A and B are shown apart, each in its own frame.
Chain A
């Protein structure tokens, strides 16, 4: 860990001013990811701007009937909020599938979006890694890549985004509200995270001078037919091998609207509109689920250790769609898969 300065932002404008004036500074919220990265010399910020005192910890209804979640709302509070439990259980379920209660108590909504990959090499400064040190090479290609991506990869990086919460947010078509020097803007969730391409060092499209202030959820929460199914190497407290968020709007056995997002498979929560479209207007049958899964995974490719993820994702999608269609979402307490 390097020497750094510690400062505290007094309000959002102050936070923006401080981050804009020092490109090597970083915001710190719960610190559950950033501090770990600092201890391993992966992140070496010149300055930490503590934003935990900003008034961004509210959950309010929006004018259109959606929900606005402040960037500092702890993951635990969010998962247990009555509005989330009643209207957006998919989001609550995804949050509860992640990390541990202790971590969720500390982790913030904004920080969760910007947590960095868990690629082994990203964390080990003795090894090459394009994400950590652009141009140094990708150790995971040809290395240990069991946890790595099967979709949207590039020759420069095959890392995954590790968040569970974000998979649900992608399925729900949330928006990210950010404030920078040029004011506030709203970013569609699909546009928020990036694919690695030839700039794997960039995880998101948030600008260097921007702070996330809130997440907005649209009114539709798919509370009746949803599931978050996370498949991992132990029954709790492990990052996803593959996770699947599903929200369906079913009327008389026909799917009117479908949302299907995958975690653990790409550099960002993975959605495929074409696959969703194949489900829409169709009956909720296994054959249609199979077709949707095939569409999602058509371009999937493995890198050796993670080859199994393609088949695992296929089976997981079928199961998750069935869970959602049946109205029997995966429980995050009972680990038996429904």
Chain B
């Protein structure tokens, strides 16, 4: 009857900020970020990404209580950086990593298609080469370039192929 709405666990209430920032009053270049309605999923990837930043002296997160749906990320950096800079950088890097991952995954799928479709083995090899050597996430375009536009739709007539043709036009 007086149970809170289930969505309170992941919807930020009106008038509350998603991310609030608080500087440490005693230490220069240290701050806490309170992120509303997030949990270990975001907390842990942010923390680990911050650890990869050489300017970050300390990065940690906590989920204060399982019924308080927020995390607190604390960052302490060296003087040439700032917690805000490090925080933004970590998000940007993770975002780019995920974009790359998506590209690479889609190639992996396309490679599979060539295996069960009529594609020659050499094409599979191409796909694998591109997946492994092209870190920019633009490998698809490169793949298309290698095989040529005309060859492109020739691997079969299933949905997957149409999907890639459609994507290719963008």
Are A and B a genuine interacting pair, yes or no?
Answer: no
Residues of B that sit less than 8 Å from A by CB: none
Query: CB within 8 Å of B: which residues of A?
Result: none
